[in-house]
Amino acid sequence: MNANRELWEKGDFTRIAATMRGSGEALVDGLGIEEGMAVLDLGCGDGTTALPAAERGAKVLGVDISAKLVAAGQARAAAAGLDNVSFQQGDAAELAELADDSFDLTVSVFGAMFAPRPYDVAKEMVRVTRPGGRVVMANWIPGDPTLVAQILKIAAAYSPPPPDGFVSPMTWGVEDEVVARFGEAGVAADQVGFERATWVFDHAGAPEELVGLFRDYYGPTMNAFAAAAADGREGLLQAELDALFADQNRGQDGHTEIPATFLLVNVTRSYP
């Protein structure tokens, strides 16, 4: 199993995804999806954006590196009675099973950013998108003071150093890096647009309960806790995350609602 698949097969990301449904719906509402549109959701997880896109009439294919999440997406689609969305396992850097010019819209919401070989990821997203179509990415931003960037920063401080050649997924939140990657894929800089947007984690419980979900089910923090436990720093990591979540919580009366800023990338694939 490759390292990226192992990371996302670890734990149970569906527990985290359950806190993200409202923001998934809101993002899809802004995509201009029309009846019959062909949509690829890359790094789809269990369908947080794939299912809402299908509910709006698109024909959706969700692709994820994790077989567990593909199965969870299939189960959610079946429960919702949606026959216009399907899921399959695949690597965002190598979509060999998908034909050129297949999709009107390619979406990746905190998914493809975690795949290795980011230049190959950009090329593949452009390749499978039809001329005149769009690629839309939602990516976390390095150094951002809001929740997820800080979770990943804290987790990295307790984890072993990455292997040689590792490219941080957070570089997908740097505008110049994104322009360069899509430039190598043949997209002009003026066809790549950016805006800041907000994603909300919504949990019907206290902030420390949400920390527990990340500790027990989110691959990066699971790895950080394992490394911290090995050198006696597990309590320090727990305290840092508890303080972070409590400080950023905007919910009241035992409810947790934490906003996180992300970079919304809009790419237009021009006609030849």
Q: Please, which residues bridge with residue 64 across strands? A: 89
Is residue 105 within 8 Å of 130, Cβ to Cβ? Answer: no
Q: Does residue 54 sit within a domain?
A: yes
Q: Does residue 152 sit within a domain?
A: no
Q: For 126-174, write each residue's pLDDT tens digit.
A: 999 999 999 999 999 999 999 999 999 999 999 988 888 889 999 999 9
Write down the residue that tokens 């508890």 correspond to: 242
Read off the tokens for 127: 């390749």
Q: What is the mean pLDDT of residues 101-122?
A: 97
CATH number of domain containing 47: 3.40.50.150
Quote the pLDDT of residue 270: 86
Mean pLDDT estimate for the chain: 96
Q: Does residue 61 sit within a domain?
A: yes
Angle between helices 147-158 and 219-230 (to 10 degrees): 30
SS (H, E, C) 191-248: HEEEEEEEEEEEECCCHHHHHHHHHHHCHHHHHHHHHHHHCCCHHHHHHHHHHHHHHH
Secondary structure E strands in the chain: 38-42, 59-64, 85-89, 103-109, 129-140, 192-203, 256-268
Reported as a pLDDT band with limits 50, 70 and 90, residue 74 is very high
Q: What is the mean pLDDT of residues 26-44?
A: 97
The count of domains in the chain is 1
Which range marks the domain in which residue 90 is found?
3-142+165-202+260-268
Reported as a pLDDT band with limits 50, 70 and 90, residue 1 is low
Of the candidates 84, 122, 125, the one whose C-alpha atom is nearest the C-alpha of residue 103 is 125
Is residue 206 within 8 Å of 254, Cβ to Cβ? Answer: yes
Q: For 194-237, write each residue's pLDDT tens digit.
A: 999 999 999 999 999 999 999 999 999 999 999 999 999 999 99
Reported as a pLDDT band with limits 50, 70 and 90, residue 271 is confident
Instruction: Kindly report the pTM of this predicted structure.
Output: 0.95
